[in-house]
A and B are shown apart, each in its own frame.
Chain A
């Protein structure tokens, strides 16, 4: 069998060649004004924007490292500029039901204008009305009403008083009413005089008193009606004066909003309410009445001196501008950074007043959905899902198309206090959720409403092809970022280094990462090191320093792991040969740090019934994919060696000194190599480490993290001193993923470290042992001194032994298993 060719340094890294590009620094590059590699997302967003039907909200899915928000916002803003259906949203008092404030939609800018106009009117109102109601004319007319009524009352009392006097009685006041007292010489009779009166006279006096009492009763019973009449007269007078007084200022306000019927209607309501409550409004300008109120049973001694902002009547005329779009050009594009229930739906605030919590429509506060109405709302899916009630609240609004402000306690029936029930706002908003893919798929699976509400899937690419055209676009994107973050200009070599690093981020020399957050960070950190080095532009060495420093900062665990191997706490051989022992390669991901480490894998074989035991699985330290990989080995052995005879071995495989879980099948080729070594007794060279998964046909399949794995083994070998024999076997199909470190490339160049791409188990086994695998001859036999021969030979021996034991026990009459 032909050995695989060893990889050359040019196979290990693809340098970015920008020599054809005509720029010196990023300052020379044209602005991109677009996002690269996201055509699918851009089409999806454009589709979502144009689809005005219900449910066509957008879920932008992709890793957090991708700047989903900026891309989405960019396209939404472009689209929003063409929308002019925006307005201001205001809450106004409902004069029929005060606890149900009404919503008022006005053309953009008119909300603030109406608010300011009404505010001025409110400020002026008490003084205007007070002046009118303190005017001589009003006072005279009021006094006329008072006097007329008082005179009429007095006249009635005088008539009774005179009648009583004619009949020899006086009308007197008592603490709780009136009484008639008999007179003698114009003075009230003493009890002694009364005693002297004859029975007849007494009887006559009682008759007269009774008659007078009836007259007085009649008068007193008229009093409430008379009072009512007087109050009605005063009310009419107040109405006349109030209407006359406020007419001018109201006409001014009306003129400014002639074309808005709702405002005219509101002004009608306000005008009527002022007329009804003119006394309370004037009361705010006048002190007094407190003591009387107190005596009459009211609790407060407050004189009613309210500032206009707190006056219980005047605040009804205010305009609560919930959303002011006066400065907005086009439709709103709102990003809600903290999507709590209240921040999305809006809230009703309360103010403490004498120990009680009070509210009114002026304390209704807008949520992000209000601000985004007739526009777009961008929300982070994870945040909205983590906030209590927020997700359900958002869905409720999207389903009903109405935004009703209520506290979660009320919606769930937990609290039922007297509060406001603001009129719901008709909502027409396109919601864009940003989230990771797993969130999208979880929601699709577990939330029955989700697919109906978020029909547009905008799936962000993580990477794009690395070709000349895209490299230039990438350079332009870098230039845009440099300008956006106000960084030093970046020279061509530095740009190239960023592009190369971007390939490394996706572990693919033919791709570039478009997870822009990582690139943002790299640019900013490179800028820092450039400034630190007093460079006028960011150079390649600054980018390299930023990359190295990132690795260094998160490299503590990696260093510890490598140290334990170097100090032989964890056993890894990098020289010599051992039967049934091999160096596998695994990748550890801890926080931001990703690094490879070699792990010793061993195999032992004994007589059995064709089992390969994965010790990791037996102790539940392996994941299902790893277990699957081990089971594939049985398939390979069966297919190659077990066609004619049953496999009669029991093999055990173990990751030595592994104290935590193992997952993935990238070690399955190593496990097969070590298994074959254990069966055949052919030793494996320990100067190699191996990675790659294997299928039942013995083909080596690609794995992830190939760069980290190679670098992990290289670091150990390098620390111990490179012998010139050490190297790594990788799947041939992973060669395209190689973007290795420069020190590894240099070692390969110098021939002190080797990387072999392997397509089959046979190729790998030959490299690892230096012995041919061998192919069956015409008789179906493997030639001697080949691995296959040794394996088969050993398996045959095991079969014979098994048969021997089986026969012996059958002779005993016992079943042998």
Chain B
């Protein structure tokens, strides 16, 4: 290996939605493999506290539909309870996995606080959607903002997705592609996974160069590596490869031509696996 990318801090954005919990599970697994610290963060949305000061605020329970007055005290109570649950969860996961971890609750705007928190992290894990009523094919608002704004690798997860036995990485010859490949190799090695490198180029004459570059980058690697070309109908090709290889984690350079915003949403809806975007 020519280079090594060190991931020491993994940030996981928490609420009690199913996707967020899936993100925590995956983050814990990665933290264990990479011997990194797990940083749990729960943002207490400032909007809730403003609402508590409005006299005509009522809360309609999403479980029973009952209505009750929403005031500061009630909001505080609910937020404290949510925070305590997440703290307990982090404690359990940390102890069971023998992980280094921190957990903090911060009050403020969700996106702003999360973006601030990303500064001290080497990798961010987020659920694909939170509580917002989105179509299955859509990314949540918070996820979108984090992906757009941060320059750190972002791991997107959804309930029911698992890291699996084969790490799949797209290598397009760019610098971010190289970083993605290096991290993919590190993760595959740590998790004893197979590594599938998908060579992405529209020009078949560049295939040899890409292969050579992969050999150069991975020439000392102990990981079992396979390579495939991805040409036309890329999402379909990618889906087939991921399915055939029982692929778990898919690592992609963030600015790969594959992903405009809509393509990312399409990819997430068609390929049900965790996605790690790399700058």
Contact = CB atoms under 8 A, between A and B. Distances in A.
A binds B: yes
B62 interface: yes
Contacts of B79: 175
B135 A154 contact: yes
A213 B159 CA distance: 30
Contacts of B259: none
Interface stretch (A289-297, A429-437, A772-780): A289-297
B65 A217 contact: yes
Interface string B258-271: 00000000000100
Given A179-B59, A205-B56, A221-B65, A292 B162 contact: no
B65 to A, nearest CB: 4
Nearest to A175: B78
Given A288-B162, A291-B21, A291-B24, A176 B61 contact: yes
Given A288-B160, A291-B93, A292-B22, A143 B136 contact: yes
B132 interface: yes
A223 B64 CA distance: 9
A147 B136 contact: yes
A179 B51 contact: yes
Contacts of A151: 135
B2 interface: no
A70 interface: no
Interface stretch (A6-14, A184-192, A555-563): A184-192
Interface string B126-143: 000001111111000000
Nearest to A156: B133
Interface string B20-31: 011011000000
A151 B133 CA distance: 9
A179 B58 contact: yes
Contacts of B160: 288-289
A47 to B, nearest CB: 70
Contacts of A143: 136, 269
Interface in B92-144: 92-93, 96, 131-137
Contact of A175 (B21, B25, B57, B75): B75
Contacts of A188: 47, 50-51
A301 B96 contact: yes
B133 A153 contact: yes
Interface in A159-186: 172-182
Contact of A173 (B92, B131, B243): B131
A425 interface: no
Nearest to B137: A147
Contact of A154 (B61, B78, B133, B243): B133
Interface in A213-239: 213, 216-218, 220-221, 223
Contact of B70 (A179, A194, A206, A290): A179
B60 A182 contact: no
B51 A295 contact: no
B232 interface: no
A795 B85 CA distance: 116
Among B22, B54, B85, B160, chain A packs the most CB atoms within 10 A around the CB of B54
B67 interface: yes
B18 interface: yes
Given A188-B47, A190-B50, A292 B159 contact: yes
Contact of B92 (A182, A190, A287, A294): A294
B41 to A, nearest CB: 16
Contacts of A218: 65
B198 to A, nearest CB: 19
Contacts of A287: 162
A569 to B, nearest CB: 83
A627 to B, nearest CB: 84
Nearest to A286: B162
Contacts of B60: 177-179, 213, 216-217, 220
B54 A178 contact: no
B136 A189 contact: no
A220 B60 CA distance: 9
A313 B82 CA distance: 35
B89 interface: yes
A153 B82 CA distance: 25
Contacts of B51: 172, 174, 179, 181, 188
A209 interface: yes
Nearest to B165: A287
Nearest to A140: B270
A179 B57 contact: yes
Contacts, number: 118
A46 interface: no
B16 interface: yes
B136 A220 contact: no
A157 interface: yes
B174 interface: no
Interface string A747-772: 00000000000000000000000000
A230 to B, nearest CB: 13
B226 interface: no
A180 B57 CA distance: 7
A287 B82 CA distance: 27
Contacts of B81: 175
Contacts of B48: 174-175
Contact of A176 (B55, B62, B96): B62
Given A150-B136, A154-B134, A209-B56, A290 B47 contact: no
Contacts of B204: none
Contact of B132 (A173, A179, A190, A209): A173
B202 interface: no
A202 interface: yes
B221 interface: no
A336 interface: no
Contacts of B55: 194
Nearest to A169: B56
A290 B159 CA distance: 11
B137 A177 contact: no
B224 interface: no
B76 to A, nearest CB: 10
Contact of B78 (A139, A174, A286, A290): A174
A227 B61 CA distance: 17
B53 A191 contact: yes
A291 B55 CA distance: 39
Contact of B59 (A178, A205, A286, A295): A178
Contacts of B22: 291-292
Interface in A448-474: none
Nearest to B93: A291
Contacts of B131: 173
A206 B56 contact: yes
Interface string A265-288: 000000000000000000000111
A669 B167 CA distance: 107
Contacts of A291: 21-22, 24-25, 93
Nearest to B62: A177
Contacts of B70: 174, 179
A146 interface: yes
A177 B75 contact: no
Contacts of A292: 18, 21-22, 159
A194 B25 contact: no
B25 A290 contact: yes
Contacts of A295: 16, 21, 85, 89
Nearest to A288: B162
Given A147-B135, A179-B57, A188-B50, 16 more contacts: A139-B272, A153-B133, A175-B81, A175-B82, A177-B59, A178-B62, A180-B57, A182-B56, A216-B65, A217-B65, A221-B65, A288-B25, A288-B162, A291-B24, A292-B21, A294-B89
24 contacts: A143-B269, A147-B135, A147-B137, A158-B133, A174-B48, A174-B75, A175-B75, A175-B81, A176-B78, A177-B59, A179-B70, A180-B58, A188-B51, A194-B56, A202-B56, A213-B67, A220-B61, A220-B64, A220-B65, A286-B162, A289-B160, A291-B22, A292-B22, A294-B92
- Nearest 8 CB-CB pairings of A with B: A220-B65, A191-B53, A175-B78, A291-B25, A217-B65, A177-B61, A177-B62, A157-B133
